[in-house]
Amino acid sequence: MSDAHLVLEALEKRFGAGPPAVAALSLAVQKGELLGLLGPSGCGKTTTLRMIGGLAEATAGRILVAGHDVTTLPPHKRDMGIVFQNYALFPHMDVAGNVAFGLEMRKQSRAEIAAKVERALAMVHLDGLGHRRPRELSGGQQQRVALARALVIEPSILLLDEPLSNLDAKLREEMRTEIRDIQKRLGITTIFVTHDQVEALAMCDRIAVMRAGSLEQLGTPFDIYESPATPFVADFVGRINRLDGARDGDGDILAGPLRLRAAKPGPAGRVTVMMRPHRLHIATDAIGPEWNSAAGTIRRATYVGDVLACEVDCAGAMLTVERHTHPGQPIPREGEAVNLAWRVSDTLAFDA
Amino acid sequence: MPIASRLALALLLPALLVNLAVFLVPMGNLALLSFQQASAGGALLGGFTFATWAKMFGDVFYAELVLDSVTIALSITALTLLCAYPIALFIYRTPERWKNLLIVACVSPLLVSAVVRTYGWMVILGDGGLVASILRGLGMVKPPRMVFNTTGVVIGLVEILMPYMILALIAGFGRLNASLEEAAASLGARPFTVFRRIVVPLTLPGIMLGCLLAFVLAVSSFITPKLLGGGRVFLLATEIYDQAIVTLNWPVAAALSLVVLVIFGIALLLYGRLSRAIA
């Protein structure tokens, strides 16, 4: 990709002996794109971010920004804005001092700095709080200061390391849209590290799902969710039902007592079948040929207000079905016999 | 009075009484002593006179003594800080499992008495000692004298005070955090700028605590200046000893002790002011 703004080429990080923390990672990020690095803790996503920012040394591979190799450049020469998980605000400076720091390092004039700091604080809705100390601010406000401080230097790339994980749920959603809006408005290439799949799906242009130091799948949120490349991705991004089975010569899959058909054909052999719980239905009518079905008994019904989840025992195979609640629909009783149905196109099969 | 306050008072009482008995009363005695007359032979004649204090304020020797003591103690404090700071920073950044070992290693010199360590320095710094031999080996014809002068006293005390300084520094480094340094670097600060703008300000509480401790210990240290100074370095603590034990002029010794107390008071006051200023 010729117009890629940030390129990682076979990037590797080893800490002593043992398997590498990041192995042969290659990625190309477009200008103005927000790319999420998503994965469980220890998958190497933060290490990757630290290598991009120059806070960790790559043991192999290259990092290119706008075509220039920055792999061995120290962090203070990389021109990247970083927002840390704990915000890392300087406690001995006030808010304005924190935001001004990067501009002072760039030897800008006092008047220029003052004007830029004011604009940056206005951008994150902290007008007039410039003289507060970081400890006098709420978590959300500290987060905004960290964002303003990283953006005011107009960095070539913005790196966000789990910036929302220390906020409560409501604030997290608010900051999610706010960060995304600012990022779009400034058109700044951004890498966003998170272990929260909802965050990644909601904010990112593309998501790189990482596992044990390697790239598992790279794609848009839609691709990642609807067409996961591996059972790991399917399992990590969203809730999912999982059955182990085998595909016969006709393309039918036998998973325990169930005979299913999957969205895509494949060779005979062992397969893992996965279905999203909310794509399963408790069937009331006769079903068409484009549907898989299973008969079972409700073992548990969990009502959480907007969603009702039922665990259904289909002759030994446990399937979870979720649906939105409705005051007209009664909550099924445990022990009730039901028929489950779901589209063949919603049935993902992975060759083992 | 609520029960909690009464209980607090009751619990404080023993400590108050002990302090009163072993600190305030002797200090009062010392103050009274400085206003008494003494015969040439050292016998206290009683009475009440400002003669000792008049002599202290009139004689340039005492002004110089105070000034020298404070200057030397401040130099020792500054040098101790300079030597101890990198070590403390290194230990603070060491992973937890090595940290304790390193702290023990730093504090272990305290297991050897200051007298022994001072004699050790006399051997090392002496005219035929290790340092002089090395300097001669390097081609220096006449190495500088390093014992029985201020240089020796400063070297010896810096080494003796370093463990205290290191402990105080580490105790005061709590606000330091690796991600703050990384944040500063990512904003364009060079390593030295990170040190100057982030590390030093954040470690100021430790620096101040360490300096207060080292200064107080330096002013009141007696054995090291006595031995390494060889009687040629006049400091408050050694002078008090000489006045009390050699010259047997107890009123002067008492007055000098109170001067030391005033110096400590000023140091504490400064420490408190600065601590509040940076908080």
pLDDT tens for residues A36-46? 999 999 899 99
Please determine, for residue A287, whether its predicted confidence score (pLDDT) is greater than 80: no
Residues in B touching A86 (Cβ below 8 Å): 177, 179
3-state secondary structure string, chain B?
A: CCHHHHHHHHHHHHHHHHHHHHHHHHHHHHHHHCCCEECCCCCEEECCCCHHHHHHHHCHHHHHHHHHHHHHHHHHHHHHHHHHHHHHHHHHHCCHHHHHHHHHHHHHHHHCCHHHHHHHHHHHHCCCCHHHHHHHHCCCCCCCCCCCCHHHHHHHHHHHHHHHHHHHHHHCCCCCCHHHHHHHHHCCCCHHHHHHHHHHHHHHHHHHHHHHHHHHHHHHCCHHHHHHHCCCCCCHHHHHHHHHHHCCCHHHHHHHHHHHHHHHHHHHHHHHHHHHHHC
Residues in A touching B186 (Cβ below 8 Å): 53-55, 75-76, 78, 80-82, 150
The residue of chain A nearest to residue B187, with distances taken between CA atoms, is A102
Using DSSP's 3-state secondary structure scheme, residue A208 falls into strand
- Report the candidate in B193, B192, B200, B195 with the shortest Cα–Cα distance to residue B173: B200
Could you tell me which residues of chain B have a Cβ less than 8 Å from any Cβ in chain A? 175, 177, 179-180, 182-191, 193, 197-198, 201-202, 278
Using CB atoms within 10 A of its CB, is residue A39 exposed (0-12), middle (13-18) or buried (19+)? buried
- In this structure, the strands spanning A4-13 and A22-30 are antiparallel
At B142 the pLDDT is 87
Q: So where are chain B's domains?
A: 72-278
Which of the pair, B273 or A328, is modelled with greater confidence?
B273
The residue of chain A nearest to residue B190, with distances taken between CA atoms, is A76
Which region among A47-56, A96-105, B50-59 has the lowest average model confidence (pLDDT)? Answer: B50-59
The model carries a pTM of 0.85
- Compute the half-sphere exposure of residue B182: CA atoms within 13 Å on the CB side of its CA: 20
Residues in B touching A91 (Cβ below 8 Å): 175, 180, 202
Give buried/exposed letters for B146-170 (b at 16+ CB in 10 A, else e).
bbbbbebbbbbbbbbbbbbbbbbbb
At B185 the pLDDT is 96
Please determine, for residue B208, whether its predicted confidence score (pLDDT) is greater than 60: yes
Mean pLDDT of chain A: 92
The answer to whether residues A243 and A320 touch, using CB atoms and an 8 Å cutoff, is no
Residues in B touching A78 (Cβ below 8 Å): 186
- In this structure, the strands spanning A157-161 and A80-83 are parallel
A16 in reach of chain B (CB within 8 A)? no
The residue of chain A nearest to residue B188, with distances taken between CA atoms, is A76
Q: What is the pLDDT of residues B21-36, one digit of tens each?
A: 999 999 999 999 999 8
At A121 the pLDDT is 95
Please determine, for residue A199, whether its predicted confidence score (pLDDT) is greater than 70: yes
Residues 55-114 of A with CB under 8 A from B: 55, 74-82, 84, 86, 88-92, 101-102, 105-106
- Report the candidate in B155, B164, B162, B163 with the shortest Cα–Cα distance to residue B225: B155
Question: Packing angle between helix B150-171 and helix B60-93, nearest 10 degrees?
Answer: 40
Average pLDDT of the residues in B196-225: 95
Give the sign of the dihedral formed by CA A114, CA A119, CA A121, CA A126: positive
Residues in A touching B184 (Cβ below 8 Å): 90, 101
Q: What is the pLDDT of residues A95-126, one digit of tens each?
A: 999 999 999 999 999 999 999 999 999 999 99
Q: Who's near A337: CB < 8 A, 6+ residues apart?
A: A295, A296, A297, A298
Please determine, for residue B129, whether its predicted confidence score (pLDDT) is greater than 50: yes
What DSSP character marks residue A244? E
Q: Who's near A249: CB < 8 A, 6+ residues apart?
A: A268
CB contact under 8 A, B180 and A79: no
CB contact under 8 A, A82 and B180: no
At A93 the pLDDT is 95
CB contact under 8 A, A84 and B182: yes
At A2 the pLDDT is 53
Please determine, for residue A248, whether its predicted confidence score (pLDDT) is greater than 50: yes
Average pLDDT of the residues in A142-154: 94
Q: Give the tokens for residue B133.
A: 């031999």
Please determine, for residue B68, whether its predicted confidence score (pLDDT) is greater than 70: yes
Percent of chain A scored above 90 by pLDDT?
Answer: 74
Percent of chain B scored above 90 by pLDDT?
Answer: 77
Please determine, for residue B50, whether its predicted confidence score (pLDDT) is greater than 80: yes
Work out the minimum CA distance from B208 to partner chain A, whole angstroms: 16
Mean pLDDT of chain B: 92
Q: CA B204 to CA B279: how far, in whole Å?
A: 10
Work out the minimum CA distance from B180 to partner chain A, whole angstroms: 5
Which of the pair, A332 or B267, is modelled with greater confidence?
B267
The answer to whether residues B92 and B103 touch, using CB atoms and an 8 Å cutoff, is no
CB contact under 8 A, B189 and A105: yes
Q: What share of chain A is helix, strand, coil (3-state, %, to 5)?
A: 30, 35, 40
- Report the candidate in B203, B222, B183, B250 with the shortest Cα–Cα distance to residue B38: B250
Q: CA B156 to CA B122: how far, in whole Å?
A: 9
Give the sign of the dihedral formed by CA A153, CA A122, CA A35, CA A188: negative
Q: Give the tokens for residue B72.
A: 């030397």
CB contact under 8 A, B186 and A149: no
Residues in B touching A76 (Cβ below 8 Å): 185-191
Q: Compare CB distances from B183 to A77, A78, A88 and report the shortest one's residue.
A: A88
Please determine, for residue A1, whether its predicted confidence score (pLDDT) is greater than 70: no
Residues in A touching B198 (Cβ below 8 Å): 90
- Report the candidate in A253, A249, A246 with the shortest Cα–Cα distance to residue A270: A246
Please determine, for residue A169, whether its predicted confidence score (pLDDT) is greater than 70: yes
Q: Who's near A324: CB < 8 A, 6+ residues apart?
A: A306, A307, A308
Q: Who's near B36: CB < 8 A, 6+ residues apart?
A: B44, B45, B46, B47, B48, B49, B250, B251
Percent of chain B scored above 70 by pLDDT?
Answer: 100
- Report the candidate in B172, B154, B171 with the shortest Cα–Cα distance to residue B79: B154
Q: CA A272 to CA A321: how far, in whole Å?
A: 18
Q: Give the tokens for residue B46.
A: 């009683």
Q: Give the tokens for residue A317.
A: 């195979």
Average pLDDT of the residues in A242-265: 87
Q: Where are the alpha helices (DSSP H) in chain A?
A: 45-53, 95-105, 110-123, 139-152, 169-186, 197-203, 221-226, 231-236
Q: CA B13 to CA B9: how far, in whole Å?
A: 6
The domain made up of B72-278 has a fold known as MetI-like fold (1.10.3720)
